[in-house]
Chain A
Amino acid sequence: MLNKVTLVLSIFSVLLVTELSAQNVYFTGVGRALVTNDRLSDNTNKASKLKGSGGYTLFDLGVNAKATDVLRAGVILRIRNEFGGFFSDGASFEFRQLQMEGLVAKKVKYEIGDIYLKHTQYTLWNSEPIYNKYEANVFSLRRDIVNYENFFIGNAWRMQGINLKTQLNFKKGIQSLGIRAYGGRTLRNNTTTIPDRYFYGGRLDLTQSKYLRIAGNVAGISDIAGTVSNAQVDYHNMVYTTDFDLTLDNNDNFKFVLGGEVGASHFELKRAIDTAYNEFNDYFYDLGVKGTYKPWNLTLGGSYRDVGYNFNSPMAQTRRLAAPGDVIPSNFPLMNDGVTARPIGIFETYSQEQRLYNQAISTTLMSYYVQYNMVEPYGKATPNRKGYTFMAEVETPNKVLNASIEANFLSESVAEGDSITFEKRKFTLIQGGFVFNLNKLLNFEKLIAINGGVRTESSKRGGTNLINLSSSLIDVGLDIEVIKDLHLIGGAKIFNVQGNEVQAARNQLNQITSYAPLQFNQSQTILAAGLRYDYGAGCYFSMHYHSVDFKDVQTDRNTYKMNQMFFVFGLKF
């Protein structure tokens, strides 16, 4: 504690000195007070509901000092007090973020410390685990909190390291050349057996003309030999890719883009336990075309991809949702008198802030919830997938309606476990939705928005080992501004999954070691309604009621009903 205080005082001192010299210090802040009240009934306690409550108050103070364009230093300090704490009983203090950024020689932008990194979908990418593009605001308000708490911004991973980028412009031959390099540490050594593990990557992005852009990418992870005396592993993985766009945009009505990404991976791992040298090489390609009809703002596209079964790209394949074995529900972790572990449902994916999401890069393909991600559990970079993707999106010029749909028809490249008929799984993933701003159609000032979304997934295989699993997730939502700044918000999520699958377990080399049969007959219905009042820039209060009905016909003891009252006051400046 003393060390923390010393550190805080030191940083404040540095910032104060900087402030005095530069007179350019500014503050940002995020505050939140949140309270939940829960009821659960399960198979054992159908009549007498289990009860629980929780919540906290927190404030993230961002202190930023900008000396010149060369340097901006920022720190976010967090004070959090659990619901029920009083006079610091239960309060905690921590650093949430420490970052420096600036411009060197007016050309090279740098970031050091806690940085958010995103590269391409096959090199460094944080994929959304559950489709939520068109979910109701009553859910997305809570998902935003979960994302903030877990450091998720778009598809970027929050990492500790350095990120450098610059752009060189040319007068002849080529238009510009973008250069980017990044690196940092993903794993700290344990002083004896686990060595330091570093990530690094870079991109050369050449824009030749308005017709052609082509880029080369590398992304790697390596153990640093010698950082521990008795290393049990020596791991290296490299991904090399090229992405490009060929654009034809010489017409007032139409625009066409031919684009894609192609690359390869090299995996090697030496282990003390078997002295074997394990090496795997594989490649992928993903090529597509898109056409836009400009007057309607309508885009249609199609692509084909083939991702090899040994394609390894940890920074693109790491899952945002933690492996099931690491997940514990925050509310009512056990039910049926403490005998049954409560299964994770769709409700937790947008409401549980801790012990559900993963923030660390995993060098092995993580275990996952098959019922929620059977087609692309590791995003676009999911290994052993090939097939077609089609998409369409439209946005009316007056923004009354925007809608999109994507259909993926994929299959495995190589059969998994079928040693007799060698049958491969076939996958279908269709997802899409719309937002309809009714008030714009009616020329009404206050918001009336209706949204809806759907995702269906299926995994099927014939031959000796039949597989037939399908799921659907339906979202509907409503947001009505009843009086100025006061919104009535409501929504529903309906999830169904039925059929059988097998889940592969993998070893340190990412090779499949066993399968577990899975059988599903499950439905989840979540209804939520509430109010949201916006005080002004960045300040709001919201209260909701969420009703969760989790039915598991296959395993009846997993069935439960849960209700939650939720109150939140938030501010941001």
Chain B
Amino acid sequence: MKRIFRFSIVLVIALIGVILACSRQKPDYIGPAYIAAPENFAVTSFTSNMSSISFIPSTSLMYSASFTNSVSWKLTITGNKSGAYHVFEGISNGFTNLQWWGEHDGAFFFKTGETVTATLSFFGTSMVSETTTLVTQAADFKTCGKFSTYGDFENASKITPANKWFAFNSPTPIPNVIQGVASAEIDRNGDTVKAPEGNQYYFIKGKGDQATFVSGIQSTASLSGITPQADNVWVNIYLYGTGDPNAGVEIEYQEADQPGDGIYSPTTDDAFVAYVTLSHIGWKLFSFKYSDLTPTLNADFGGSGNRKHEPNRLRSWDIVLVKKTDPNSPIAVYFDYPIITTGGPFKPCH
């Protein structure tokens, strides 16, 4: 027994010896470098070159600042009405003519007529510097991709079949559904829904008269000129969620596969679908690479084409509101600013 015990001790000591002999090559630090502001840190100047700006035609607002030390800084531009923001970051003792073209980072766009506050903040201190500017005309990003005409929903009277927007109408009207353009709908949580871009958006609410399907709307505005490379095309739309796992949308992108006819025929062509459950809270940009969209399984509605992702053959798209878990519970979708981009998801450009 003693021999076993001694053997065990020797084995364990040998194991520990091997472990302690290990050493890893360590860098001096990991992650990106940053520098916090020291105690005597101060901002010596912080200015913008204009007190008001129109971003149309494309113009930039320029910010300049200088500090006593080289530190990690963050410049956050915030819209006082829209809640939109845009952030610049860097490590330096200042910057000169930093250009802002009116773009935003989150879901909300800057609005015409609002004051924006540029706040300069730093790692390691609560010190901030601010300057304000009036936006007389917000930037327009519709040319950053193939935008569905009138898809900002700012003019409700344009959302009609005459302008290639077709609210679903079978039967007419669809029972237990309301849909249209709005600016201040109240969601299921009692919160007012404000538009992410401009002042208005489109909404569909209700429980319809079927177990899953509620209603939808189709846009057939021209989508010509899109590249055929499906892995270089993104479809984008802003969707508002209320945290309701019962609420879902199916966004269908419809192609004209049959040579010559040039239109989407549900029984002979392709439709590719993005499925979204609206279980998030608030507005969010949803972007899908076109090649990742799933072919619809419905043979009578886009499931009978050549099954090839061909964005250059896109002719129309629609958004369909569906109940995911509970056929008896009403649901809602609010959406805005549908746009198809190339090279990556929608990003404000200039």
Contact = CB atoms under 8 A, between A and B. Distances in A.
Contacts of A214: 11
B19 to A, nearest CB: 5
A242 interface: yes
B329 interface: yes
Contacts of A419: 28-29, 33-35
Nearest to A173: B4
Contacts of A508: none
B29 A422 contact: yes
B5 to A, nearest CB: 5
B328 A465 contact: no
A211 B24 contact: no
The listed residue with most A CB atoms (<10 A of its CB), out of B8, B16, B31, B35, is B31
Interface of B: 1, 4-5, 8-9, 11-12, 15-16, 19-20, 22, 24, 26-36, 38, 123-124, 126, 189-192, 211, 231, 243, 281, 291-292, 294, 325-326, 328-329
Contact of B325 (A89, A92, A212): A92
A423 to B, nearest CB: 9
A514 B31 CA distance: 7
20 contacts: A1-B211, A90-B328, A192-B291, A192-B292, A209-B8, A211-B5, A212-B12, A230-B231, A230-B291, A244-B12, A246-B8, A285-B20, A308-B24, A309-B30, A341-B281, A414-B30, A419-B35, A420-B33, A502-B123, A512-B32
A558 B243 CA distance: 20
Interface of A: 1, 89-90, 92, 190-193, 208-209, 211-212, 214, 230, 242, 244, 246, 248, 258, 262, 282-283, 285, 287, 308-309, 328, 333-334, 338, 341, 355, 384, 413-420, 422, 464-466, 500, 502, 504, 511-515, 517, 519
A239 to B, nearest CB: 16
A7 to B, nearest CB: 17
B243 A333 contact: yes
B185 to A, nearest CB: 12
A138 to B, nearest CB: 28
* Closest 10 pairs (CB-CB, A-B): A512-B31, A419-B33, A338-B191, A212-B8, A415-B29, A465-B36, A285-B19, A211-B8, A417-B31, A246-B12
A334 B123 contact: no
Given A208-B8, A420-B35, A519-B126, A92 B326 contact: yes
Contacts of B191: 334, 338
Contacts of B36: 464-466
Given A414-B29, A466-B36, 6 more contacts: A192-B294, A209-B4, A242-B15, A285-B22, A513-B31, A514-B32
Contacts of B31: 416-417, 504, 511-513, 515
Given A282-B24, A309-B30, A419-B29, A466 B294 contact: no
B19 A89 contact: no
B188 to A, nearest CB: 11
Contacts of B126: 519
B89 to A, nearest CB: 8
Contact of B29 (A92, A334, A416, A514): A416
> B interface, by DSSP: helix, strand, loop or mixed?
loop
A416 B28 CA distance: 9
Given A92-B325, A285-B19, A466-B124, A415 B4 contact: no
A283 B23 CA distance: 9
Given A191-B294, A334-B191, A419-B29, A465 B34 contact: yes
A413 B26 contact: yes
B296 to A, nearest CB: 13
The listed residue with most A CB atoms (<10 A of its CB), out of B5, B9, B329, is B5
A190 B292 CA distance: 9
A414 B32 contact: no
Nearest to A214: B11
Contacts of B16: 287
The listed residue with most B CB atoms (<10 A of its CB), out of A341, A418, A513, is A418
B22 A283 contact: yes
A415 B11 contact: no
Contacts of B281: 328, 333-334, 341
Nearest to A416: B31
Contacts of B20: 285
A283 B8 CA distance: 24
Contacts of B35: 419-420, 464-465
B82 to A, nearest CB: 13
A515 B29 contact: no
B32 A515 contact: yes
A211 B5 CA distance: 6
B72 to A, nearest CB: 8
A211 B8 CA distance: 7
A422 B16 CA distance: 29
Given A89-B328, A464-B36, A519-B126, A417 B189 contact: no
